[in-house]
Amino acid sequence: MTGTPWFSQVEPAQLVADPDAFKWDAETDLLVVGSGAAGSSAAAEAVEQGLRVTMVDRYSGGGASAASGGVLYAGGGTAVQREAGVEDTPEDMFRYLSLETRGCVSDATLRRFCEQSRHSVDWLVAKGVEFRATVYRGKTSYPNIDYFLYHSDNSLLPASAAVARPAARGHRGAGRLTRKQMLAAVGLGGSIVWPLHDWLRDKGARFMPHTEARQLVVDREGRVIGAKLLELPEGPAREAFLAHQRAAQRLYMLIPPIIPGAQHLLRLAVRRLKKAAAIEATQRVTRFVRARRGVCLAAGGFVFNRKMLAHHAPRYTGGYPLGTPGDDGSGIHLGLSAGGATARMDNVTAWRFINPPKAWALGIVVDRRGKRVCNEMAYGATLGHELAEKHGGEGWLILDRTLVERAWDEIAPGKTLAFQRDLARLNMMFGRRKARTPEALARKVGIDPAGLEATVRQLNEAIAAGRPDEFGKADEDRVPLLSAPFMAIDVGLAAKLFPCPTLTLGGLAVDEDTGLVRRADGSTVAGLYAAGRTAVGVSSGLYVSGLSIADGVFSGRRAGLHAAHGITWSPDRP
């Protein structure tokens, strides 16, 4: 922690010379901090291996996993893929993900992840998670509610398909969801997390919601042996706390923050949250829990800790935080307090999705010089990464009249989900600038006129001459920009009418065979595991949809198994 801003209420680890003489309030084998996909998987694997497990959560439970779109990235021939007639192998999955992970984990770990993937789906299904085999075979950021298996990545792009055979690997959870939830695409991750919670409850695991892990407890050898918890017990205080939180959530959801007038509702929501915080500050009780096999930190990332984000990844502060308030970096800080090291803390994914409507992706995205950024058909996190890392977070989508008319047709009622339709409408009605020529459009927007004119001219000439696209865009996805008026939509990270979701990918460095937290010298902290977005994992490179939940399941199970038996996960283990 030396020289690093703390930005946290986490307390330095408490040294206990004689653990047997210390006054513990409770005892367990494995204490899991966080109850999203990673924490729930760690807990379920540990219970399955015979351990007593206590799982705590700062809030009601589920974390960012439950709040997500409910996508699990899985392949190599899952039962769902086979039912849908999708051919896939662990080798194809490995070759493709090698392009996206960019060395964030070793080849051995990535191969183990791919070879184990189909077994993870079987494991989740055995715990009550439901998937369906209706497959969407085209390119989209997120399919309509009738489809539960889709290409949630870049595997369909020509450059990727040249390396590995494409396969639909985005497995959407299908159970416990109402049609209203699916149409809104909010909270769909509960389809994966809640069955794990029910399974854990049935097996006798202890779950403590509204309980914050404030401090780790270590012995004289530096082994983590437990934690100090702050619990808001059941009763009137918790009910009042929940009432304020629910009221704040309703106010947040009434009007999107990008709509004029939303700030008034946001202020009201903040007032309710302050009242909830006041209850916590006065009503929580301290519990010391001993964990004989260790503690697993699975408390999410740090995108909601804006000071911490500005320190580690300032290029992404203009984005919209994706997750829950629990993603405040506390899990990472707990690991640091026990001597752990971090890695890839500057790596953040920015989701700039422009398909659907597909007509938008047929246009071009340019920077302030008027130069194209990348293949516009790429997955949204690829586009967002290019904008943030190479173009100052700025970008504009350029369309002509023909593409705009096509886009309006593609977002007609019933053709897209509500959030996709509404964002497209909002930006084509109020977020766009129009002009009769590319040069005039560039002057209105603040783009270099000569640069944009040259880009559009060269695009049209290349298509007319049959020359390949400079960014590898497939011929069927290329159209000339010819018909006035031309339109520009701000797709930068800080676009006022087009929020760009961001998610942190760095965290605690871990031993990839065990999940134990590593120190800066490469040794491990005994008794301390990390999983999911609290740790560096398979999704800490260039992100694709569902990879964070999949990594949470993988890394959580790895920690649970090692805590129980001190062994590494075998690829062919069911």
Q: Which of 571, 573, 513, 542 is nearest to 153 (CA)?
A: 542
Q: Which domain holds residue 94?
A: 71-183
- What is residue 85's predicted lDDT score, i.e. its pLDDT? 98
Residue 166 in domain:
yes
pLDDT: which is higher, 503 or 179: 503
Q: Name the domain count of the chain.
A: 4
Statement: residue 111 has pLDDT above 90: yes
Domain boundary among 430, 456, 490: 490
CB 366 within 8 A of CB 396: yes
Neighbours of 369 (CB within 10 A): 15
Q: How far apart are CA 560 and CA 203, in angstroms?
A: 15
Give the DSSP H or E segment for 365. strand 364-366
Neighbours of 413 (CB within 10 A): 7
Do 446 and 394 meet the contact criterion of CB atoms below 8 Å apart? no
Query: Cis peptide before 485, with omega less than 30 degrees from 0?
Result: yes
Question: How many angstroms separate the CA atoms of 512 and 515, rounded?
Answer: 6
Domain-embedded: residue 259: yes
What is the structure's pLDDT at 3?
43
Taking only the tens place, the pLDDT of each residue in 366-397 is 999 999 999 999 999 999 999 999 999 999 99
Whether 270 and 259 share a structural domain: yes
pLDDT (mean) for 277-290: 96
Gyration radius of the chain over CA positions: 24
SS3 assignment, position 375? coil
pLDDT at 1: 41
- Over residues 3-17, the mean pLDDT reads 85
The residue out of 460, 490, 520 marking a domain boundary is 490
Q: Which burial class, exposed, middle or buried, applies to 91 when counting CB atoms under 10 A from its CB (0-12, 13-18, 19+)?
A: middle
CA distances from 4 to 208, 302, 316, 336 (A): 31, 15, 19, 10
Judge whether 17 lies within some domain. no
In a domain, 5, yes or no: no
- Mean pLDDT value across residues 493-505: 94
CATH number at residue 300: 3.50.50.60
* Per-chain mean pLDDT for the chain: 94
What is the percentage of the chain residues whose pLDDT exceeds 90? 86
Tell me whether residue 3 is in a domain.
no
Regarding whether 263 and 287 lie in a shared domain, the answer is no
Q: Indicate if the pLDDT at residue 291 is higher than 90.
A: yes
One domain, residues 375 and 247 = no
Beta strands 342-343 and 320-321: pairing type?
A: unpaired
Question: Using CA atoms, how far apart are residues 238 and 488, in angstroms rounded to an integer?
Answer: 49
The model's pLDDT over 180-213, given as tens digits with 9 standing for 90+, comes to 777 666 779 999 999 999 999 999 999 999 999 9
Helix intervals (H) in 85-172: 90-101, 107-126, 158-161
- Cα–Cα distances in Å, from 225 out to 69, 307, 467, 526, 529? 35, 30, 64, 9, 12
Is the model's pLDDT at 77 over the cut of 80? yes
Lowest mean pLDDT among 28-42, 180-194, 526-540: 180-194
Average of pLDDT values for 294-303? 98
Domain shared by 196 and 292, yes or no: yes
Q: Are residues 199 and 333 in the same domain?
A: yes
CATH number assigned to the domain comprising residue 432: 3.90.700.10
Q: Indicate if 299 and 385 belong to the same structural domain.
A: no
What is the distance between the alpha carbons of residues 190 and 200, in angstroms, rounded to a whole number? Answer: 15
Identify which of 561, 560, 503 has the alpha carbon closest to the alpha carbon of residue 534.
503
CA distances from 110 to 223, 392, 537 (A): 29, 31, 9
Regarding whether 440 and 361 lie in a shared domain, the answer is: yes
Model pLDDT, residue 284? 97
Query: Are residue 225 and residue 345 in the same domain, yes or no?
Result: yes
Average pLDDT of the residues in 224-240: 97
What is the model's pLDDT at position 572? 56
- Quickly list DSSP for 165-217: -----EEEB-SS--HHHHHHT-STTHHHHHHHHHHHHHTT-EEE-SEEEEEEE
Question: 422 in a domain, yes or no?
Answer: yes
Same domain, 446 and 475: yes
pLDDT at 265: 77
Residue 444 lies in a domain: yes
The DSSP-derived string for 491-557 is -STT-TTS--EEEE--EE-B-TTT-EEEPTTS-EEEEEEE-GGGB--GGGSS--TTHHHHHHHHHHH
Provide the percentage of residues in the chain whose pLDDT is more than 70.
Answer: 96
Which one, of 444, 492, 156, lies nearest residue 316 by Cα? 492
How high is the pLDDT of residue 574?
52
147 residue type, one letter: Y
> Residue 250's pLDDT is what?
80
Distance CA 4, CA 308 (A): 10
Amino acid, single-letter form, for residue 341:
A
Question: Using CA atoms, how far apart are residues 164 and 91, in angstroms rounded to an integer?
Answer: 8
Residue 179 has pLDDT above 80, yes or no: no
Q: Is residue 424 domain-shared with residue 331, that is, in the same domain?
A: no
Q: Considering the domain boundaries, does residue 2 fall inside one?
A: no
CB 399 within 8 Å of CB 485: no
Average pLDDT over residues 495-508: 95
Tell me, what's the pLDDT at 314?
96
Same domain, 317 and 452: no
Nearest CA to 331 out of 323, 342, 321 is that of 342
Q: Are residues 395 and 475 in the same domain?
A: yes
- Mean pLDDT score, 2-26: 88
